Amino acid sequence: DAMVIQNPRYQVTQFGKPVTLSCSQTLNHNVMYWYQQKSSQAPKLLFHYYDKDFNNEADTPDNFQSRRPNTSFCFLDIRSPGLGDAAMYLCATSIGEETQYFGPGTRLLVL
């Protein structure tokens, strides 16, 4: 089945230790998004790629970076995780402006 896959599902890291979260998709969608969702809050868009074009949200901290080496894969890098970065990170994809489809998320814990 075509889908959005996120690995790992759970990630534990130490304060200040860089961490990378992975998203892959078999939908062949050209747009990929990264959201941060904290407990009982709405998902918050961090950035998205339209094809290879990177679009950063104005309030996304510099601590968060992203890479998209090809259509299928997109990575979220957190350079120096703080306790406040513990959250669910959601990847989504779409065809242009069409509806977004979400992956299962990666839950990040920062110790």
Binding site for other proteins (CB under 8 A): 4, 6, 31, 40-43, 45, 48, 50, 55, 88, 90, 94, 96-105, 107
* Closest separation in Å from C-beta 98 to other proteins: 7
CA-to-CA distance for 76 and 87, rounded, in angstroms?
13
Our CA angle for 50, 17, 58, nearest 5°, is 35
CA-to-CA distance for 111 and 105, rounded, in angstroms?
19
Tokens of 2: 């075509």
* Closest separation in Å from C-beta 108 to other proteins: 12
| Residue number with CB closer to other proteins (20 or 41) | 41
* Closest separation in Å from C-beta 28 to other proteins: 16
